[in-house]
Amino acid sequence: MNSIVAIVGRPNVGKSTLFNRLVQRREAIVDSVSGVTRDRHYGKSDWNGKEFSVIDTGGYITGSDDIFEGEIRKQVNLAIDEADLIVFVVNVEDGITPMDAEVAKLLRKVKKPIFTVVNKVDNAMREPDAIEFYNLGLGEYFTIASINGSGTGELLDALAEKMPEPEEVNLEEEALPRFAVVGRPNAGKSSFINSLIGQDRNIVTDIAGTTRDSIDTKYNRFGFDFNLVDTAGIRKKSRVKEDLEFYSVMRAVRTIEYSDVIVLVVDATRGFEGQDQNIFWLAEKNRKGVVILINKWDLVEKETNTMRDYEAMVRKQIEPFTDVPIVFISALTKQRLFKAIETAVEVFQKRKTKIQTSKFNETMLDIIKTSPPPAIKGKFVKIKYCMQLPTQTPQFVFFCNLPQYVRDSYRRFLENKLRDIYDFSGVPITIYFRQK
Ligand code: GDP
């Protein structure tokens, strides 16, 4: 599982600029694929072969000036609970403020690796000023200027050093699917799980959220074997109320990271809202499979086209990634629970699809021949060869002479074709263009 890095600190020290620095390189690739506006506070990055998530804890709270100290404390506590590595940002211009000292006090009790990052050290004159922060006595110490990126390479080296080696990609492995049931509070997650696994429910114990090995529990229902990953919704109690977007995202991140397929439970009576969308993008960004369950369908008054219209409305919200299975269920009356699990298993299997290279070339090069990339500034892109990469999730590379001249619209065209031919319903796919 990838490490989670949380950026903490009081408002206006430069957390979001650092966040952007850390995620920039990779986001550019991923977002151009999906064409999605990115969440400005959660992103993926990689360094020295290690992939990780970055969360800007401050970004989720607005009105930074009149922010309550209590809010900062909640943020830091949650980061302590949920993250693997903590980056504590301070601002050299202000010196150690009382709020910095408060945050430092909370962090001092933590056993996880902490990196104190002194920001805005953008000239040599400021280096001596930064030394004061040594006095905080917190973990490793770095000076950076996130505005121009100086010092971030060293920080990334140090972060990557503390992350576990990436897991071996074992393509032969016949592991059980790991499902995570996620969604807004009261969407019906617990009810769904209860209806599904009934008495065994109490096997799912209250785990602090950091024990990686015991985070999931094996079940068999309707003839399917699967693991349910422990989620915030079924934990007995959490340290903070999930009233803010930040808290639900933070809680969902680890669960999502650890799963293969995200089962997103939506309350039909409330519609598909912002938070549902956020969780959806979180799953997509992590290249996880997704099934959307529209729950409490028993409460919806139905006319001829109610389901069709509802489905269209949801698909509109998740554009352009629209070929996601949507199942209308009722946890209460147990309507379509079999269908829900069957669909999740199907998505899991599709996510493992491996397409033979020769067949893939035959099919795709044919399409490319008929509809080649449009010439840009007189440059003609010639795609000569393509293949699926030996990765855990479907990723494809197209080798060509001028990869930099391939437009996003063409990438999407290829993705749509790929989705038409090979059924990747509910599975995010990634397409790269490389020079050969
Ligand atoms: P969670 O916070 O997502 O785990 O949501 P719960 O499972 O606790 O459900 C929240 C409320 O919605 C409870 O009062 C449930 O009884 C109710 N509920 C859940 N699923 C259904 C459903 O399919 N139909 C109806 N009518 N009520 C439901």
Exposure on the CB side of residue 386, measured as CA atoms within 13 A: 25
Whether ipTM tops 0.90, in short, is yes
Residue 44, both tokens: 């993926």
Look at 108 and 246; give whichever has higher pLDDT: 108
pLDDT at position 198 is: 72
- Report the pLDDT averaged over residues 389-408: 91
Give domain limits for the chain: 3-162, 178-351, 357-435
Distance 152 CA to ligand 1 centre (A): 46
Q: Phi/psi zone of residue 78: left (φ > 0), alpha (ψ -120 to 50 degrees), beta?
A: alpha
Range in 64-68, 76-80, 134-138 with the lowest mean pLDDT:
64-68
pTM over 0.90: no
* 335-393 pLDDT tens trace: 999 999 999 999 999 999 999 999 999 999 999 999 999 988 888 999 999 999 998 89
pLDDT at position 167 is: 67
* 224-258 pLDDT tens trace: 889 888 654 444 444 444 445 566 666 677 788 88
Provide the CATH topology of domain 178-351: Rossmann fold (3.40.50)
Q: CATH number of the domain at 357-435, please?
A: 3.30.300.20
- Statement: residue 265 has pLDDT above 70: yes
Q: What strands, in cross-sheet order, belong to the sheet with 114-119?
A: 42-47, 50-56, 3-8, 85-91, 114-119, 140-143
* Ligand 1 first shell, C-beta below 6 A: 183, 185-191, 233, 295-296, 298-299, 330-332
Look at 194 and 254; give whichever has higher pLDDT: 194
- Statement: residue 173 has pLDDT above 60: no
The enclosing H or E element of 249 equals helix 245-258
pLDDT at position 137 is: 82
Q: Are 244 and 60 spatial neighbours (Cβ–Cβ below 8 Å)? A: yes
Q: What is the spatial distance between Cα 82 and Cα 63, in angstroms, rounded to a whole number?
A: 24
Q: Give the residue from 337, 248, 347 showing the smallest Cα distance to 293.
A: 337
Binding residues for GTP: 9-16, 56-60, 119-122, 183-190, 230-234, 295-298
Question: In the predicted model, what is the mean pLDDT of the chain?
Answer: 83
pLDDT at position 341 is: 95
Torsions phi, psi for 177 (to 5 deg):
-65, 140
* 414-423 pLDDT tens trace: 999 999 999 9
Mutate to test the pocket of ligand 1, among 181, 186, 236 (most ligand atoms within 8 A of CB): 186
Please tell me which of 166-180, 274-288, 289-303 the model is most confident about, judged by mean pLDDT: 289-303
pLDDT at position 233 is: 42
Mutate to test the pocket of ligand 1, among 191, 270, 279 (most ligand atoms within 8 A of CB): 191
Look at 265 and 17; give whichever has higher pLDDT: 265
Asked, colleague to colleague, whether 3-162 and 178-351 share their fold, the answer is yes
pLDDT at position 21 is: 87
pLDDT at position 184 is: 83
Q: Are 425 and 351 spatial neighbours (Cβ–Cβ below 8 Å)? A: no
pLDDT at position 40 is: 60
DSSP states along 368-416: HHHSPPPPBTTB---EEEEEE-SSSS-EEEEEES-GGG--HHHHHHHHH
* 120-129 pLDDT tens trace: 998 888 888 8
Give every CB contact of residue 88 below 8 A, 6+ residues apart in sequence: 8, 9, 103, 104, 107, 114, 115, 116, 117, 138, 139
* 287-343 pLDDT tens trace: 999 999 999 999 999 999 999 999 999 999 998 887 999 999 999 999 999 999 999
**3-class DSSP state for residue 62?**
coil
> How far is CA 212 from each of CA 82, 166, 198, 270, 298, rounded to the nearest angstrom?
11, 15, 25, 33, 37
Task: Please report, rounded to a whole number, the percentage of residues in the chain having pLDDT higher than 90.
Answer: 42
Residue 147, both tokens: 């505005």
Give every CB contact of residue 318 below 8 A, 6+ residues apart in sequence: 277, 280, 324
Number of residues assigned to the chain: 436
Distance 191 CA to ligand 1 centre (A): 5
Give 3-162's CATH code, choosing from 3.40.50.11060, 3.40.50.300, 1.10.287.130, 3.20.20.70: 3.40.50.300
Torsions phi, psi for 271 (to 5 deg):
85, 175
Distance 238 CA to ligand 1 centre (A): 19
